[in-house]
Amino acid sequence: MYFSSHLSAGVFLGTVAKNSPLALALGLSSHALLDMVPHHDYNNVLPAILDISAGLLALQTFRTTNPEIATSIFWGAFGATIPDLEVAIKYLCPFVSIKSLYPSHTGKLRHPQRKFPQGVLVQVLTIASFFALSIIL
């Protein structure tokens, strides 16, 4: 899944949880669940940079407009996105040898892929749904 897909789920979970430790745990769990949904992943760095930038801007917007739960929103988003750090390190630093730890990155959980445009549509619907739910709540 794209960064923004995971982030949108984490923002939603932080909004609902209103509790930082719970939001972190739910965010970490949501990463695995979303990785099991058939989706498209980045093919190169430019879309990743654009997606991460847009996602961080959205995160800041949600935190600013919800100051009373800004911390739980952050921890939900952090938990939901941090597992992909190991993927980013492997991609950006191929000379660094690190072993994947997160279950959907090791093959212990399904991580099905879909080609463009179906896999991208899944991402767009995921992002829109979780951000819309975060606004409504």
pLDDT tens column, 9-66: 999 999 999 999 999 999 999 999 999 999 999 988 999 999 999 999 999 999 999 9
Name which residue leads in pLDDT, 81 or 97: 81
Per-residue pLDDT at 44: 87
pLDDT at 1: 94
Give the pLDDT of residue 124: 97
pLDDT above 90 as % of the chain: 91
Question: Which parts of the chain fold into alpha helices (H)?
Answer: 3-17, 20-35, 45-65, 70-81, 85-92, 103-106, 118-136
pLDDT at 79: 98
Rounded Cα distance between 71 and 86, Å, is 24
Q: What is the dihedral of CA 3, 100, 31, 81, to 10 degrees?
A: -40
Closest CA to 59 of 121, 14, 16, 24: 14
- Name the residue among 86, 84, 2 with its Cα closest to residue 51: 2
What's the pLDDT at 64? Answer: 97
φ/ψ of residue 21, rounded to 5: -60, -40
State the burial class of residue 43 (Cβ atoms within 10 Å of its Cβ: 0-12, 13-18, 19+). Answer: exposed
Residue for token digits 């498209």?
40
Q: What is the pLDDT of residue 29?
A: 97
Q: In the chain, pLDDT over 70 holds for what percent of residues?
A: 100
Q: Give the residue with greater pLDDT, 92 vs 81.
A: 81
Averaged pLDDT, 104-122: 94
Amino acid identity of residue 88, one-letter, is: A
